[in-house]
Structures are given as structure tokens and as C-alpha cells.
Amino acid sequence: AQSVSQHNHHVILSEAASLELGCNYSYGGTVNLFWYVQYPGQHLQLLLKYFSGDPLVKGIKGFEAEFIKSKFSFNLRKPSVQWSDTAEYFCAVTAAYNTDKLIFGTGTRLQVFP
């Protein structure tokens, strides 16, 4: 069964700082990978996803993520964060050939101060 680890539980940054949130998955086969964002008081929304092709994927609001197969990782990055990026970020995975379950990591809470 697949699983997801997010090692950064709480990240605090100042505006304009660079961001990298770690995500590692455990699964022996091909996977589909996702980052979801949950702004305070809101539901989860898709930030970006990787199914195949270019391992560097770009999402909304200037976010990007890189799939490194050898490291089983899909880290999220943003060169310069804004106060409005304050949110909780979840990495998620499904097996590519059995997409029945979307499994989430424990989440990373990001606080950005002006």
C-alpha cells in the first residue's frame, strides 16, 4: 500500500523568502502525485499534479514541484512566498494503475509573516 511522509510539520517564513516543502512517498510502482492547499477555514484545492512526462510541474500561484523518482520525492517549491500563501499544504499519492484511493500526508502548516 502507498503512504506519504511530510517531514516539515510547521514552517514559518517572512514574505519574499523561498519555500521548499518535502514530500516522500512509499510505493513500489508507478504513482500519480498531487499537492493540495487548504487556506484557513476553506476546503482543499488542487495546487498541482504529476502523472507523467516532465518531472518539473508548475501549478497555480507560482508554485512548482519536482518529481525525483530515485528519491521517491515530490517536493513543493516557491521562489518568493507571500502572506496570502499562509495555509496548510498536503501531498497526496495514488497508484497509477489503481487510482482507487487518494492517500494524503499529514500536512505542513505554513505561516508567512509580512
Partner 1 sequence: DADVTQTPRNRITKTGKRIMLECSQTKGHDRMYWYRQDPGLGLRLIYYSFDVKDINKGEISDGYSVSRQAQAKFSLSLESAIPNQTALYFCATSDIKNTEAFFGQGTRLTVV
Burial of 16 (0-12, 13-18, 19+ CB in 10 A): exposed
- Cβ-based nearer residue to partner 1, 17 or 103: 103
Check residue 105 for interaction with partner 1 (CB under 8 A): yes
Site map 42..71 versus partner 1, x via CB under 8 A: xxxxx--x-x--------------------
- CA 67/CA 23 separation, integer angstroms: 10
Task: Give yes or no for residue 113 binding partner 1 (CB under 8 A).
Answer: no
The answer to whether residue 72 forms part of the interface with partner 1 (CB under 8 A) is no
# binding residues, partner 1 (CB under 8 A): 23
Cell of 1: 500500500
DSSP of 44-84: EEEEEEE-SS-SEEE-GGG-EEEEEGGGTEEEEEESS--GG
Catalog residues that contact partner 1 under the rule CB under 8 A.
Answer: 6, 9, 32, 34, 36, 42-46, 49, 51, 90, 94, 99-107
